[in-house]
Amino acid sequence: MNNDTTYALLVRSEEKGRSIMETAVYALMGLSAILSILQFVQQSERMPTTVATQLYETSDTSQRG
């Protein structure tokens, strides 16, 4: 009869290369999320002044009428 505990079975069956791969995937997902957020933060700074002014004036006149 086999008296191995569930924990012992799990430790023996663990894939050794999996933890490294999971760490790399999670790191890339975190990095892409940070880069996406930074992209949206900097987006308004890159908008040309004339376009921003036109958008403001357009929304201002539509609220008046």
Domain ranges of the chain: 6-64
Sign of CA dihedral 5, 9, 10, 16: positive
pLDDT in tens, 13-24: 767 677 888 899
pLDDT at 32: 97
Structure tokens at 49: 């002044």
DSSP string for 1-65: -----HHHHHHHH--TTHHHHHHHHHHHHHHHHHHHHHHHHHHHHHS-HHHHHHHHHHHHHHHH-
For residue 8 the two structure tokens come to: 């012992």
What would the mean pLDDT of 25-51 be, rounded to a whole number? 83
Best-predicted range by mean pLDDT (36-40, 43-47, 57-61): 36-40
pTM above 0.85, yes or no: no
Structure tokens at 36: 């996406």
What band does 11 get if pLDDT is binned at 50, 70 and 90?
confident
Give the residue-averaged pLDDT of 35-63. Answer: 70
